Structure 1
Amino acid sequence: MSHINVTINGRQYRMACEEGQEARLLQLAGSLESRIENLRGKFGEIGDARLTVMASLTLADELVDANEQIRSLREELTALRDVRVAATDRARATQTAVAAALNAAAERIEKTTQVLNRTIGGGVAIG
């Protein structure tokens, strides 16, 4: 377990994090600090706690939007996978039908050739 100091709303906090996650925690704290400063620029000095709550609500709103988008994209991905499976099934069915039609045509040609060979009699065999 690592410990680092982060600054949020001008105050230092000692935070614990997993080894290797220090940079991520600093990035997150920097993002929150930036949001607080942005809100301070818009609304002025309205109190530290209120600025922190407003910044947190902004992040929560973005998280809800992101989760809704992820859900929507997952549904779209599922639909696309279903379409792909259906298309693959149709392609297989088409290949099977084409192969059967070619085999049937080859059999008819073979039978026609046999009939012609018998009809011609002693002549030159066809095919």
Structure 2
Amino acid sequence: MPQIVVTIDGKTYRMACAEGEEKHLETLAADVDGKIAELRQSFGQIGDLRLTVMAAIMATDQLHEARRRLNEMETRAAADGEARAASEAGGESVRQEYARDLDETAAALERITAKLGGGL
């Protein structure tokens, strides 16, 4: 199992990860480091543990918001799919009605043609 070393808030950590996940874990660690640096700049020296907890809450908030937006998009996509299906079903109904009207018109024309042909 590969191991990498990441630096967060000036401290280094050795971490294990799955094969091929090294770059992803380094990116995640850099994001955490960035959040902690942002918090440290905003709040100053308020303690490592507090900064870490605040960074975790910020990351969790972003994850929660992303999940909420994903659920909203999935709901909207499902509603759009249902509307599309209803529209297609309505379109099929219109096509069937149009076909019936054409059949009736053709039958009427045949009757008229028969009457005209029989009278001549």
Q: TM-score, normalised by structure 1?
A: 0.91
Stretches of structure 2 that go unaligned for 5 or more consecutive residues are none
Find the counterpart in structure 2 of residue 7 from structure 1.
7
1:118 aligns to 2:118 (yes or no): yes
1:12-91 matches, cutoff 5 A = 12-91=12-91
Q: Give me the TM-score of the superposition, normalised by structure 2.
A: 0.97
Q: Deviations over 1:33-78 (max 9, x none)?
A: 0010011000011111111111110001111111111111111111
Percent identity of paired positions between Structure 1 and Structure 2 = 36
Aligned to 1:124: none
Deviation at 1:119, TM superposition (A): 1.0
Alpha-carbon distance between aligned partners in 2 of 1:119 and 1:22, rounded to the nearest angstrom: 92
| 1:9/1:52 contact within 8 Å kept | no
- Over 6 Å off, 4+ runs: none
Aligned residues: 120
CA RMSD between the two structures: 0.8
